[in-house]
Structure 1
């Protein structure tokens, strides 16, 4: 199978809060919203998120422990400054990582960790793990 797109859908009781959070802080564009289900484009065309409220025949609310969305951005320092100025508190500080990025993390309203990063040169220790 060759998927045309991969997009996560989080079952949550916080559909409205999640929609508003991604629209406000990440410039998401809502492409579908029937109240209990929201589809949004985040960034480029191939980056979408969905949130849905629990329905009788649907999945239970997501336990987001261990779930992380990775957001690659051009300037993580600018994004960190913008998000903290908007009142968001990082759950992981902005720092350089030896595997080849500089990043920080925040939580969305459903408790999903959002790792926001920019690429950096990896240390010699980690260069060996990159594949051509």
Structure 2
């Protein structure tokens, strides 16, 4: 198998609000969009595709289910700087910066559709 790109698809209620959130706070840009659909891209991460809940392209058994229980995690170089930047931008920080016992540092923001986005970095040996 030769994979040329990777994407995460999420079923949401408000595609434009989700797309605007990802563009404003995480630097994605809209590559394609139509009614009930947006494809968002960055050069350094998988694409994010937002589909409006109920869209017929989704299998019948799941087309009305919103994205739930999903966390999109991005590993970043300077977690503290990202935390401050997002806090200053007014992004909804729904889990403050913390360090897990296994050495992962993280915090979470949540988009208008309830999609949880986690920014992560491994603690350095000085912090561990």
Pick one of 55, 75, 79 that aligns with 1:76.
79
Q: Note the residue ranges of structure 2 that are not aligned, 5 or more in a row.
A: none
- Superposed CA RMSD: 2.0
2:33 corresponding residue in structure 1? 33
Structure with greater strand share of residues: 2
The answer to whether the aligner puts 1:63 opposite 2:77 as a matched pair is no
TM-score normalised by L of structure 1: 0.79
Shift of 1:3: 3.6
- CA distance in 1 between partners of 2:90 and 2:105 (Å): 21
* Displaced runs of 4 or more, over 4 A: none
2:110 corresponding residue in structure 1? 107
Could you say what secondary structure the match of 1:19 adopts?
helix
Q: Note the residue ranges of structure 1 that are not aligned, 5 or more in a row.
A: 123-132
2:92–2:111 Cα contact (<8 Å) kept: no
1:17 corresponding residue in structure 2? 17
TM-score normalised by L of structure 2: 0.81
